[in-house]
Structure 1
Amino acid sequence: MLKSPEVAVPVFKLYGETAAWPTPDLIHCESIPERSRLHGWEIRPHRHGDLVQLLYVQAGRAELEVEGHVHCVERPSLQLIPAMSVHGFRFSQDIRGYVLSMALPLVEQLSGTLDSQVTRMPICYALGDEVRHLDALFESISQEYGRQAPGRDLMLQSLISVLLVSVNRRWLAVSSARESTQDRGREHIAAFARLLEMHFREHWTIERYAEAIGISAAHLNALCRRLAGQSALRMINQRLVLEAKRCLVYTVMTVNQVSDSLGFSEPAYFSRFFKREVGVSPKVFRIQR
C-alpha cells in the first residue's frame, strides 16, 4: 500500500505542478507513462482541488490507491478520482493508458443529466467488452486534444460526454447488482428465520438450513454476519435460549422437561448449554426471575 506522508497532502493542478493550469482548456489529456516516467513510475499521494480524473489502464500493472482503498490492477481497468480525493499510484514500466483530467465545472455541466453521485465517488472496475470502445474513445480524445482543429472544444466535450455516460451506466449497473444482491440476501435471511422458527427444536445443522434455502453454509453464515450482525449458529442458539427462558419463567415445567421439549438428548447437556449462553444455570435463572 502506498503510504501517505505525515505532512499535509499537497494539492496540485496536475501532479508535480503548482503553477496555473497549463492550457486554456478545461481538460488535460496525457498518457500514463508521460508523467509517471518523470517520477520513477510512482505518483505519491496528493489531491486536486477542482479536478475530476479518469485513469484508464490499458496494459501493464498498476497499484491504485484512492482514499485509502487500494486496487491492484493487471488487466484493462478504469479508475475515477473525484475532486479533493487523496490518491496515489504506482506503475510498472510497461504501463499503457491515459489520464484524463477535467475541470470540475465542466464535469458538472456535462454530467448534469446523469446521476449526480457518479463523479463524486471513487470508482474502479475491470473492463470486459468495453475495452475496444474505451480504447477508441480515449484515443480520439487524445488525438483531438493534441491538435487545433475547427470545432475542437465541441468535439472534446462530445467525446467526454460519451465517456461519462459510459461510466455512469457502469456505475448504475454495479449499484443495481449490489442492491439486487442485498435484496436476495435479505430474502435468504427471512427464509432462515422462518425455518429456524419451525425446526429449532430439531437442532438442524447450519448445513441443513442452508440446503433448505438453496445456498451454501458459508454463504448463509456470511449473510447472517452482514445482515443480522451475528453468525448463523449464534442465531440458532439464541432461539433455543429464548424458548428455554420462556419455559422457565412462564411454565412450571421442570428443567428436565424443558430440556426434552427443546430436543436436547440429556438434561445435563441442556444445563451446560444454557449456562454457557446465559451465564447461570437454568435453576438459578428461574430463581432469579
Structure 2
Amino acid sequence: MTRPVPIYSLYGEKPTEHTEFWAHAETIYSRSSLHSWEIRPHRHERLFQILHIRSGHGEALFDGRWRPFGPRMVIAMPERHNHGFRFSRDVDGAVITLVAKRFSAELQGHAGLAEWLRQPSITPMLDEHPDSRYLSETLDRAEQEIVQGGARPTPLVEPLLRTALLLTLRLAGAERGQGEADRDQERLAELTRMIGEDFRTRLPVEQYARRLGISATHLNRITRALVGKPVSRLIAERIVLEAKRDLVFSALSIQQIALRLGFEDQAYFSRFFTQNAGLPPRQYREREKALLES
C-alpha cells in the first residue's frame, strides 16, 4: 500500500502552524541539517517556494523524477506539487516561502509568468547572461527584507520577488531556447541599452547590427515591426531626449550642448533638433522654462 505524501506548512510542521506570515525565509542549512540533508517527498497546499542555490549541489524530486542541480540555480516549487530535496553538506542557499493566494495577485498582468509558475522548474543563472548577477542580488535582498521584517515583511518584498520571478522567467527562456519573436524582443532590449550608452558618438546602424550578429536590414526590420521606427529614428530620439534635458535643467549654452552630443557644428545641431523636436533649441528652452516657472 502506497503511503500518502504528507502535507506540510514549512517542512515538518503542521499546516495549521505559522498562519500569520505570508512570506518566510530561512537558510537551506537551517532545516535540511535537521533532517540529514534530505527533505522527504511532501507537498504544500497553499504555499509557493523559491529556492536560491548559491553554492553546493543536490537533487530535486518533482514529477516523479530526481533531477540534479548545482550552484547558482533557482528552483521554483508551486503549491500542490509533490516534491523533495537532497542537499550536499556544503550547500549554501535560501528558501523563500510565500502564501500562494496572497502573492498570486502580484503576478497578474505579466504575460506568461503566472502560467509558467504553475509547474516546478530549475533555472540556472548562466554566467554569460547579463541578468544572472542581478537576479542573485535581488533574491539575497528579498531574503534579508523578509528576515528583518518578521511576520510583517517590508513593502520592498513584493516588488523584489516580482522582479526576481520575472528575471528567472527570462533566464529560463534563454536556457530552453526561444522563438524568433522572443529573440527579437531581446535584440530590441539590447539595442536600446547600447544606444543609451553610445548615443553621443552617433554610431552608424551597421555597427549596432554587427554587435547583435545580424544585418542592418534585419535590425531595421525588427525595430519597425516592434516599435514602428527604424534604428536611425531610435538613435535620434535618444539624442533629442538628452538635448531636452540639458536645455531645461542645465545652464549650458546651446553650443556646449551640441558638443556634448557629438555635434561640432552648432547650426547642424539646431537643424537636427528642430527637425526632431518641432522647435529650435532656444525656443524649446524658453518655452519649457516658462512652463516650469508658471
Question: TM-score, length-normalised on structure 1?
Answer: 0.55
2:9 is matched with 13
Indicate yes or no: 2:92 matched with 1:92.
no
Give the counterpart letter for 2:32 in structure 1: S
Contact 2:75 2:123 in 1 (8 A): yes
- Name which of structure 1's ranges 122-131 and 83-92 shifts more when overlaid on structure 2: 122-131
**Structure 1 portions without partners, runs of 5+:** 181-289
Give the counterpart letter for 2:10 in structure 1: L
1:83 is matched with 79
1:118 is matched with 116
Change (3 A) 1:23 1:135: farther
Contact 1:118 1:171 in 2 (8 A): no
**Structure 2 portions without partners, runs of 5+:** 181-294
Query: In 1, distance between residues paired with 2:133 and 2:179?
Result: 29
Query: In 2, distance between residues paired with 1:76 and 1:60?
Result: 9
1:37 is matched with 33
Query: In 1, distance between residues paired with 2:54 and 2:160?
Result: 18
Change (3 A) 1:87 1:123: same
Pick aligned residue for 2:67 from 55, 67, 71 = 71
Return the offset for 1:179.
5.3
Matched ranges for 1:213-232 at <5 A: none
1:215 is matched with none
Contact 1:52 1:119 in 2 (8 A): no
Query: In 1, distance between residues paired with 2:58 and 2:118?
Result: 22
The percentage of aligned residue pairs carrying the same residue is: 28
Change (3 A) 1:47 1:148: closer
Partner of 1:7, secondary structure, is: coil
Change (3 A) 1:155 1:21: farther
Give the counterpart letter for 1:123 in structure 2: S
Query: In 2, distance between residues paired with 1:172 and 1:60?
Result: 24
Q: CA-to-partner distance for each residue in 1:192-243, whole Å, 9 max, x for gaps?
A: xxxxxxxxxxxxxxxxxxxxxxxxxxxxxxxxxxxxxxxxxxxxxxxxxxxx
1:156 is matched with 157
Contact 1:111 1:164 in 2 (8 A): no
Return the offset for 1:107.
2.9
Contact 2:24 2:147 in 1 (8 A): no
Q: CA-to-partner distance for each residue in 1:142-175, whole Å, 9 max, x for gaps?
A: 21112249x9431111111111211232344456
1:51 is matched with 47
Q: CA-to-partner distance for each residue in 1:87-112, whole Å, 9 max, x for gaps?
A: 00001111001111111113311111
1:254 is matched with none
Aligned length: 174
Contact 2:7 2:42 in 1 (8 A): yes
Query: In 1, distance between residues paired with 2:146 and 2:178?
Result: 36
Return the offset for 1:23.
5.8
Query: In 1, distance between residues paired with 2:175 and 2:124?
Result: 12
RMSD: 2.3
Query: In 2, distance between residues paired with 1:166 and 1:137?
Result: 10
Q: CA-to-partner distance for each residue in 1:9-48, whole Å, 9 max, x for gaps?
A: 0111110000534262211111110110111100000000
Give the counterpart letter for 1:24 in structure 2: E
Change (3 A) 1:6 1:73: same
Give the counterpart letter for 2:165 in structure 1: L
Partner of 2:156, secondary structure, is: helix
Change (3 A) 1:138 1:21: farther
Return the offset for 1:178.
5.6
Larger-Rg structure? 1
Query: In 2, distance between residues paired with 1:23 and 1:135?
Result: 28
